[in-house]
Amino acid sequence: MIPFARHDPFENMAIDEALFRMHQQERQPPVLRFYGWKRPAVTLGYFQDVDDELNYAYCRDSGIPIVRRPTGGKAVLHGCDLTYSLVAGERSSLFSADVVETYRIISGCIIRGLAVAGIDAHMVEEGRRGTPPGEGFCFATSYRHELLAGGKKICGSAQMRARGVFLQHGSVLVDLDPLAVCSAIGKTGDIQKRAREITAVVTSVRETVGDAVGMDDLCRGLAAGFEEVLHVRLAEGDLSPEEDALKEKLLADKYRRDEWNLKGWSAQRGS
């Protein structure tokens, strides 16, 4: 386990991809990482289109950086959340070669971890139907095996797989500013109206239990949840020299470049 730390948004994505790539080469034990954001930032899902699903002008003028995740899913406005990443082999005895089953296992760990922190959450058995109010906003739609607290979504997740390894990203909302979300993500409709719609389907740790649970409490609870459900003991560590070197290369070649963050897979396909 790599313990909680706040990083630049581009570095956060570079670290996760470095862990993922090195795991493909060396098949190390699974790695769980908790992290935060040194400043508010938007992460885009791998396939999302900036022009269609993001208010780019607002983000630019507000100094909100945009970074594209290697994982799928929809956009997240970070800054008031606890983010985790998990890298493991598809054939690991702890998880599954089946994507949906892996989501279910990890969601079970998070449910237990939230319970340790005093938050009662449960798993969505079937995804919500209908058009989500937040357009490209991750938390506006609940997919199968994602988590609700008090009937509202509190944790979103996305995953990628390649060469026998998966990377899962997840974000637990610690607080929610629906106006900020609607200003940055999505481009159509009345922002005030959309903010009210999001408030009806999305919740946060603060809304659920107030200020009684801080970031340290949440990290400890989630770590305990993974240990209890998976029957493991997490050992703290850090990036290896090889992972750190790959992170720096990914920063320079990919995550600090607009070509990736704004165009993503379509730019790669056209190159």
Beta carbons of 168 and 159 less than 8 angstroms apart: yes
- Categorize the per-residue pLDDT at 270 as very low, low, confident or very high, splitting at 50, 70 and 90: very low
> What is the C-alpha end-to-end distance of the chain, expressed in Å?
37
Q: Which two tokens stand for residue 66?
A: 């945009």
Strands (E), the chain: 2-7, 31-37, 41-44, 66-68, 76-78, 81-89, 122-123, 147-149, 152-162, 165-173
Whether the full predicted model's pTM is greater than 0.85, yes or no, is yes
Catalytic annotation present for 138: yes
- Categorize the per-residue pLDDT at 264 as very low, low, confident or very high, splitting at 50, 70 and 90: confident
> Of 59, 138, 155, 219, which residue is the catalytic one?
138
Question: Percent of the chain beyond pLDDT 90?
Answer: 83
Q: For the chain, give the mean pLDDT.
A: 91
Tens digits of residue pLDDT in 91-138:
899 999 999 999 999 999 999 999 999 999 999 876 554 445 545 556
Query: Which DSSP string corresponds to 79-131?
Result: SSEEEEEEEEETT-TTS-SSHHHHHHHHHHHHHHHHHHTT---EE-SS---S-
Residue 135, pLDDT score: 54
Set out the domains of the chain in order of their start, with CATH numbers.
2-270 (3.30.930.10)
